Structure 1
């Protein structure tokens, strides 16, 4: 199959170039039409060796240029620097602690971070897709996050429809992407949707990190074929890192950047690569996959210094540095810079005005998206609702119909502690759902679409109705089964304390998850923190005998402590309990002014736990402050972290 054959079979449907129409809409993005070529010069990435602390170049003095409508494949064995170069070109962090030097240019003009983000889009190796959204919703929200507010609703809809049609997803427009529980798109369709969602801004440069990973050769060809058709039609520059493509997929690219050990082994037209290596007496056998042949030449994964493969790779690297083709490439890059300086009519791209959605638009789009995800994705809240309802039934039937005699005082206290503490402890179930949202945020942030404040505000607001629903459902079941004080005001106060408890617990999950964005670690740290709060909240060890260290360091910042105290006051301040009769008198388990009447005042129970009256307003204020602090700390962590 030739590289010019851009048709692909899928089921009984035949897609060819004529079917891949993308009607570009003339909007405020007219400046994007001005990018004729993208180039880089002396691009070098340096990191420090962890042991020796010496500087190591993981990308060494790379040059390159890609013209509008061309597709560049960056290839090399593992550790060759493919992703490093791709990230450096996109003005992303190339590696942990890396320092990037060199010039990155569009039309010969140096680009800064904001400009390159405006001119380009970056598609991650892992799909930045929300599984519970449909194809159309994914495209709609991508447009909402990226397109300027000056673009009309009709234009947004048209662009969305055009892209869905261009990538052959019309029949799947209302199909969900897919979750572990609900099947959705195929692997190839997900890859196409991931690319389409990044093209909604009409970028001029598209960066692709391993776009065919996880796909078989047929699906790999399908994905790259669709991208090629779009690139050719709209003069799009495509730069992709790719690993061992099939022959058919390989031939869809126009240029090849072959790398090994951070150094360039070849850069130039795809159809000239085999001729270049033949000049080095490295002839490619007939009926051989060119991609595999070139990779085998420079693959030093198992090679040792001094052996044949290692020496051959060194020879290839040195040969490229001294080659006529490398000198011509450097001259072509230099020429593009001079032509830009000489052309006085060319607009300075680095100073162009970048139009973005209005500040209120981003949180609103995220809220809409989060709402759909929350009610469709059972992992986010539905499973938690089932868990909490199950806990309410468990508690209500264990602490069933508690009475107002003194032997039931301790079970009442146990029920209050157990309900509040375990409700907050079970908030760890929110960790996986939040980590998924955070991973999606990290990718959108890297593309300059979403900031930490918009992400956290929408996350907080969307959780409020679900957490309130959980608090109501739990209270309705457990409160009346256990026999808590039958008073409407007391019931709603109990629900309020439970709601604040859940809100604080979820805020803790958010904070821990942004600090430790790894599932097992976030789960363990959150569980440990909640266990600590249980120990120092004043139930297991009353405040008057709690160790001063735990009391003054942790108790006063323990949100569970204020919930426990508030629920205790709500239940005991207006209650009296009957004592056990002993002969002609009474035996009461708590000292009380009503002992002569054979009763215990509820306030006596509160006094035994060193819980004060009339401080509920103060406790509510402290709880709200703790929630705010958790959220602000989460914001600061995300703000300072430059993923």
Structure 2
């Protein structure tokens, strides 16, 4: 009925104009010249005419009756809130929207899936049917380290998409559509199906081409460790995205953090050889590569026996001896404890992401206000008035 209402008050919509644009032109002061040329009056006059006409119209009476009915039913004047949706609804809607965005964005997971398939084909053919010779001990360790380190390292490829998500979150958060918690939960849940797909398909190709230890339980553990490591890297990159919004600097920062963790994860330098003051305590225990490598090694070597080529030694060597002496793995707990620790680290990383978002939300306005009130800035502007004009022109 809007078109009829505007027409009856002297503001008909032209034949070839979008009605929405016409209504905005009529009541927006930015288009004063258009209104004056078309109707011989200013925007204020047009608004005054429309308001008076609406107040005396039948539509206004219906709205008042409806409002009174709602007030009687609800037991008071309805209050306007920032968001009418509950936390669960917010999480479900954000999860669905994020899932669809990830499905449509080729660079988010589909390109990575293709790269992972190509890499796992390379790994599978290089280490094809590795066998159980003495030389396969080192080869198995190298192959598993590559999966734990470099395959998960590729998760930084989604960082540009993370930055875009953060920009959208910033705008919608300022409008009060949902909270930080709902965003973190939605982002986490929506990525799980894609990470599972990336872990299972390329992981199965590498696992069975190499000929690692047979058994469904062993493959499930292998895929589960790969999956949780990818979740860890994504959580780490989301933390970086919340602090470093520039995607080039963010990728460099994330790659640097992972490089440090990878270096002291227990492969390039055995645990007992790491310097104690910093690299062994605490960095070795903070790096998720420690638990990924040890989980992979326990899953693969426990229960196997290899021929021993060392002169003067026994004819065979067990997987447990290899874990203790070759890789210096902590065998006091099972591989599932390593998996549980990795999952716990995912939760910690996501809580850190939540905390940083809340902190930035509180601190950024304070910093902006302090910067705006800086005496040095005010003095600079007063002494150089041309600079303020240049900023305005640039804006």
Taking a change above 3 Å as real, the CA distance of residues 424 and 252 of structure 1, as seen in their structure-2 partners, is: farther
1:617 aligns with 2:345: no
Equivalent runs, 1:288-303 vs 2, <5 Å: none
For residues 601 and 630 of structure 1, the distance between their equivalents in structure 2, rounded to whole angstroms, comes to: 37
TM normalised by structure 2 equals 0.73
Name 1:602's counterpart in structure 2. Answer: 319
Give the counterpart of 1:230 among 9, 20, 23.
23
Matches of residues 340-351 of structure 1 in structure 2 within 5 Å? none
Q: Which of these residues, 349, 354, 359, is aligned with residue 635 of structure 1?
A: 354
List aligned pairs for 1:449-488, cutoff 5 A.
449-488=177-216
Say whether residues 1:534 and 2:262 are aligned partners. yes
Q: Distance in 1 between matches of 2:285 and 2:29?
A: 56
Given the two structures, how large is their TM-score scaled by the length of structure 1? 0.46
Deviation per residue, 1:388-446 (Å, 9 max, x gap): 11111111111121111111211110000011101221110110111111111111111
Residue matched to 2:47: none
Structure 2 equivalent of residue 321 of structure 1: none
Query: What are the Cα deviations for residues 590-615 of structure 1, in whole angstroms up to 9, with x where unaligned?
Result: xxxxx43x211111211122212233
Distance 2:34 2:115 in 1: 51
Question: CA deviation digits over 1:165-186, x for unaligned, max 9?
Answer: x4xxxxxxxxxxxxxxxxxxxx
Q: Is the 8 A contact 2:299 2:335 kept in 1?
A: no
Q: Structure 1's 354 and 533: CA in aligned 2 closer, same or farther, altered over 3 A?
A: same
1:511 Cα shift? Answer: 0.9
**Do 2:148 and 2:226's aligned partners in 1 also have CA atoms closer than 8 Å?**
yes
Change (3 A) 1:395 1:354: same
Look up the SS of the partner of 2:329 in the other structure: coil
Paired residue for 1:513? 241
1:565 aligns with 2:313: no
For residue 357 of structure 1, what is the aligned residue in structure 2?
A: 85
Distance 2:318 2:29 in 1: 77
Offset from partner CA, 1:32-69 (integer Å, 9 cap, x none): xxxxxxxxxxxxxxxxxxxxxxxxxxxxxxxxxxxxxx
Distance 1:252 1:361, change over 3 A: farther
User: What RMSD over aligned residues (CA atoms) do the two structures have, in Å?
Assistant: 2.5
Task: Output the CA distance in 2 between the equivalents of 1:238 and 1:362.
Answer: 36
More helix as a share of residues: 2
Flag structure 1 segments of 5+ consecutive residues without an equivalent.
Answer: 8-13, 21-165, 167-225, 240-248, 255-268, 272-350, 581-585, 589-594
Task: Please give the alpha-carbon distance, in whole angstroms, between the structure 1 residues aligned to 2:350 and 2:291.
Answer: 19
Q: Distance in 2 between matches of 1:390 and 1:354?
A: 54
1:429 counterpart = 2:157: yes
Which one has a larger percent strand, Structure 1 or Structure 2?
A: 1
Q: How many residues are aligned here?
A: 310
Question: How far apart, CA to CA, are the structure 1 residues paired with 2:317 and 2:154?
Answer: 34
1:354 shift after superposition = 1.3
Aligned partners of 1:438 and 1:446: how far apart in 2? 12
Q: Return the offset for 1:482.
A: 1.0
Query: Which runs of no fewer than 5 residues in structure 2 stay unpaired?
Result: 1-10, 37-41, 45-76, 365-395
Q: 1:359 offset after TM fit, Å?
A: 2.5
Instruction: Answer whether contact 1:557 1:626 (CA < 8 A) is retained.
Output: no
